[in-house]
Amino acid sequence: MKSLPEGALIRSARFAKAGISAGGNYLRHYLGNSLPIKSFHQDQRTLNRKNALSIFKELSQLRGLPLKLAQGLSMDTGLLPIEFMEVMSSAQYSVSPMNRALVRTQFKRYFNDYPENLFQLFDYEAFAAATIGQVHHAVDFDGVHLAVKVQYPNVRKSILSDLKLLKLFGKQYFKEVNFENHLKEVHDTFLEETDYLKEGRNIQKFREVFISKNIIFPEYKESTSNEQVITMTFLKGDHLDQLLKKNPDQNIRNNYGQILWNFFHDNINSKNNIFHADVHPGNFLFCEDGKVGVIDFGCVKVFPEIFIKSCTRLVQKHLNGDQDGFLYELECMGFIKNASETSIKEKKIEQLFRKFAEILGSIYEKPIFNFGDKKFREGLNNLFQQGLAIKEVRGSEHFIFFNRITFGLMSILMKLESNIETKSALEIIMNRESQD
């Protein structure tokens, strides 16, 4: 890779090319299956995978926001075929890297020096290449194994171009709906991810706030970091797909799932409301010693206290069987425009949230919950489909990333098929309001 295309016209053309390529695959599929020649036939899974690879090829050239969206598509929501999820899950660590010369240019630009002079060893061949940067092995002069993430050139400008396109498409999809605050939330958060100095501070904050024997964070190396390059200690482990290929036994699945479940609720329980907001398989490592490593801190959210209290009150009302209180909280949070409204649309939205509350509340109602339960997966996926059909943005803009956290966690736990102990998490949820 040389450099990212940054202009809106060029990037929109790439999106169009992805769509045209997928359309061509569909055309060949239906024409081939209509011919009496068996060698031309292909099944739906093959078609789905071809389309996913075609789309991923174009998105991987764009990097930035498009690949962030691809990560979202890899979540198990039932909105896309499983072949799409399998291909898009590689968006975190398997796109084509930038070449050696460009890496050297980036270092010279931001350090006025080359990697071989800043580290004892530096591997120019990236071992991971993702949405806004790629990662290299390195060793410092004390012999410490490091991971050095180098940002792609022009990525910030490309994100600004993509956000303009997103705003345009969003206005077409969500007609007559004002979602400026939601777009600003996406804009501000994604641009923050391009500031590697901020990511370094995020690493330090998590090491201070979350002290656990089972979840580990890298150590930030400030001396060889800046806004475009970040250095941290290297953590060794498997990504989720690598782990699952080893066919781990149920105890291993339960252990890793429990650690992630507890980490999510530790985020809820933290006094400063700091959350790791990019809950995606590529951002976690499953280590041989039974621990889980967190390796990306670009997307971290500090939610307002009033927002977290509103979320926990909603769950509390449901679990306590307070139906009127639950409806009142929905109205306060902006999901229901008027609790006394009797229109078909408002009732439909109310029922959708009640169903979401039932299926998510069922997790806390059991001392041990089985995330491998197919009925749970099917029920959750069905609700996603119903929610997409509403075509309206409601609620606080903070739900963009809070939902990403919640359902990203659900997706990982369902893939792990973990059995999770829920007692301590339930206590955190039910006692959260009393924290002042």
- Contacting residues for 28 by C-beta, under 8 A, at least 6 apart: none
Low-confidence ranges of the chain (pLDDT < 70): 1-96, 161-179, 339, 341-342, 391, 433-436
**How, if at all, do strands 215-216 and 292-294 pair?**
parallel
Residue 25, domain extent: 8-91
Domain-embedded: residue 222: no
Q: What is the pLDDT of residue 259?
A: 97
Domain-embedded: residue 371: yes
Domain end position, chosen among 71, 91, 111: 91
Q: What is the pLDDT of residue 418?
A: 98
* Residues forming beta bridges with residue 150, ordered by sequence position: 134, 229
Domain end position, chosen among 63, 91, 119: 91
Q: What is the pLDDT of residue 270?
A: 85
pTM of the model: 0.78
Q: What is the pLDDT of residue 41?
A: 40
Domain-embedded: residue 258: yes
- Token pair 């050297």 is found at 104
Domain-embedded: residue 163: no
Which amino acid appears at position 330 of this protein? L
How many distinct structural domains can be found in the chain?
A: 2
> What is the per-residue pLDDT across 63-117, written as a single tens digit (0 to 9) for each?
555 556 655 555 544 445 555 555 555 545 555 677 899 999 999 999 999 999 9
Q: What is the pLDDT of residue 421?
A: 98
Q: What is the number of other CB atoms lying within 10 angstroms of the CB of residue 317?
A: 19
Q: What is the pLDDT of residue 400?
A: 84
Which amino acid appears at position 241 of this protein? D
Domain-embedded: residue 358: yes
Domain-embedded: residue 190: no
Q: What is the pLDDT of residue 198?
A: 96
> What is the per-residue pLDDT across 406-431, written as a single tens digit (0 to 9) for each?
989 999 999 999 999 999 999 999 98
Question: What is the spatial distance between Cα 63 and Cα 60, in angstroms, rounded to a whole number?
Answer: 5
Structure tokens given for 28: 């060949």
Helical segments of 270-373, H only = 305-319, 323-332, 344-364
Domain end position, chosen among 91, 123, 142: 91
Domain-embedded: residue 274: yes
404: exposed, middle or buried (C-beta count within 10 Å: 0-12, 13-18, 19+)? buried
Domain-embedded: residue 283: yes
